[in-house]
Structure 1
Amino acid sequence: MIRTLWGPEDVASYLKVPVATVYQWRHKGYGPCARKIGRHLRYRPDDVEAWVVGLEV
């Protein structure tokens, strides 16, 4: 079953960072993988969670 895709606001809420930070990460090539659907950015929750896990030292 496919989970609902997240927008930048959902990612920011999940990570507890400002929405502007999510956009800055994308601009710098950092952060979780996003996909453009039309003119909208969408994130798979699994990609966001995997990115967070990958940050662990």
Structure 2
Amino acid sequence: MNQLMAAAAVAKLLTLDEVAQMLRKTPASLRWMIHVGTAPASALIGNRRMFRESDVEAYINAAFDGAAR
């Protein structure tokens, strides 16, 4: 198994639609966030935009850590 396959086997990958739902955004809004660089880290895998679940969770946690209490 090569390194890419090993990494994919360890990390759960989410689609753009799944992440948009998690963030309570429309897919179009998430695409815009990707365009302007404010979205969680993602990559094109087989012509599909994919997100690691851990990156999305870190993005959400960072938003709460930076929020005023």
**What TM-score comes out, normalization by structure 2 length?**
0.73
Compare CA radii of gyration and give the structure with the larger one.
2
Matched, 1:11 2:15: no
Secondary structure of the corresponding residue to residue 48 of structure 1: helix
**CA shift for structure 1 position 42:** 0.3
Can you give the 5+ residue segments of structure 1 that lack an aligned partner in the other structure? none
C-alpha distance in 1 between matches for 2:18 and 2:42: 12
Alignment RMSD, CA only?
1.4
Number of the residue aligned with 1:46: 54
Gaps (5+ residues) in structure 2? Answer: 1-8
Task: Provide the residue aligned with 2:31 in structure 1.
Answer: 23
Match of 1:55 in 2: 63
- Runs of 4+ displaced beyond 2 Å: 1-4
| Aligned-residue identity in percent | 26
Equivalent pairs, count: 57
Q: Which structure exhibits the higher relative contact order, with contacts defined as CA atoms closer than 8 Å and separated by 6 or more residues?
A: 1
After TM superposition, the score normalised by the length of structure 1 is 0.86
